[in-house]
């Protein structure tokens, strides 16, 4: 035993033993601290790994959204170009159609208007700045080159303007449809001789003949004027007897 303990006495050895035990306790504490630090680092590492994975997922989404945004911008720019072309074409067509309506309305008006007070019907276009919608104004050009609202004209003259305008619009529709009779609506005139004198009624017959030359599928004329409908292909006469009962008689051109 003495050989193992050496020359050191018991107290010294006891002191060394105490120191060793203290160092062991310190090492244990250091181990526990390091273990706790390690666990904390492991948790942080796991958290950072999750954040990294989330960031990578977000980066992939950002790339996807950026690609979509680029595609959307290209589509938007393309649509902007198409809309610009459409608006330009629409504006050109609107101006062109308005010019045609003016021309055709003038042709009809000139053929049925026998007085010299007015030279022609003028149709102009104005845009409502608030709504963007277009309005159309109708004026009569006088011999002194001044314009006048049709409301100032006589009843017969207003009727002629209305007939000429309707006929002019219909002629444009007929041309746009390319003579496709299946797509053209009938041309309907309801009491067109109202306010017209006999001379203008004769001119109205000429206008109806002109309209038929546009390859119109059907022309309906509702009138009390037998002279106007005398040349119709078909005549539907509605009369009332003494009991106020309506009677309908159908006749074909050439029948008595």
Over range 151-177, report the average pLDDT.
Answer: 84
* Residue 121 predicted with pLDDT over 70: yes
Q: Structure pTM?
A: 0.57
End-to-end CA distance of the chain: 160
Read off the tokens for 22: 């203290």
64: pLDDT confidence band, cut at 50, 70 and 90? very high
Q: Check if the beta carbon of residue 215 is closer than 8 Å to that of residue 179.
A: yes
Mean pLDDT, all residues of the chain: 81
Distance CA 58, CA 245 (A): 84
Neighbouring-strand partners of residue 118 = 142
Q: What is the pLDDT of residue 7?
A: 67
Q: What is the pLDDT of residue 67?
A: 92
Q: What is the pLDDT of residue 3?
A: 54
30-59 pLDDT, tens digit each: 888 888 888 888 888 889 889 888 988 999
What percentage of the chain reaches a pLDDT higher than 90? 9
206-238 pLDDT, tens digit each: 777 777 777 677 888 888 877 777 777 888 888
* Phi, psi of 230, deg, nearest 5: -60, -35
* Residue 86 predicted with pLDDT over 80: no
Q: Check if the beta carbon of residue 126 is closer than 8 Å to that of residue 139.
A: no
* Phi, psi of 194, deg, nearest 5: -55, 130
* H or E element at residue 136: strand 134-142
132-160 pLDDT, tens digit each: 777 888 999 988 889 999 888 888 888 88
Q: Which of 98, 111, 92 is nearest to 172 (CA)?
A: 98
């Amino acid at each position: 035993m003495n050989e193992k303990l050496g020359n050191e006495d018991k107290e010294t050895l006891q002191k060394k033993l105490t120191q060793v035990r203290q160092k062991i306790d310190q090492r244990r504490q250091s181990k526990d601290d390091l273990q706790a630090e390690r666990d904390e680092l492991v948790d942080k590492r796991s958290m950072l790994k999750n954040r990294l994975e989330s960031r990578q997922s977000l980066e992939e989404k950002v790339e996807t959204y950026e690609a979509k945004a680029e595609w959307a911008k290209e589509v938007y720019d393309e649509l902007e170009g198409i809309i610009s072309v459409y608006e330009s074409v629409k504006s050109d067509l609107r101006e062109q159609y308005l010019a045609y309506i003016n021309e055709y309305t003038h042709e009809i008006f000139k053929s049925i208007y026998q007085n010299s007070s007015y030279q022609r019907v003028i149709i102009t276009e104005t845009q409502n700045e608030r709504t963007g919608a277009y309005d159309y104004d109708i004026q009569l050009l006088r011999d002194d080159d001044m314009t006048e609202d049709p409301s100032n004209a006589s009843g017969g003259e207003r009727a002629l303007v209305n007939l000429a305008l309707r006929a002019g619009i219909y002629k444009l529709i007929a041309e746009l449809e390319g003579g496709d009779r299946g797509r053209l609506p009938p041309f309907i005139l309801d009491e067109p001789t109202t306010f017209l004198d006999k001379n203008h009624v004769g001119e109205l017959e000429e206008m109806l003949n002109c309209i038929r030359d546009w390859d119109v599928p059907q022309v309906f004329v509702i009138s009390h004027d037998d002279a106007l409908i005398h040349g119709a292909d078909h005549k539907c006469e509605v009369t009332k007897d003494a009991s106020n009962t309506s009677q309908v008689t159908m006749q074909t051109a050439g029948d008595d």
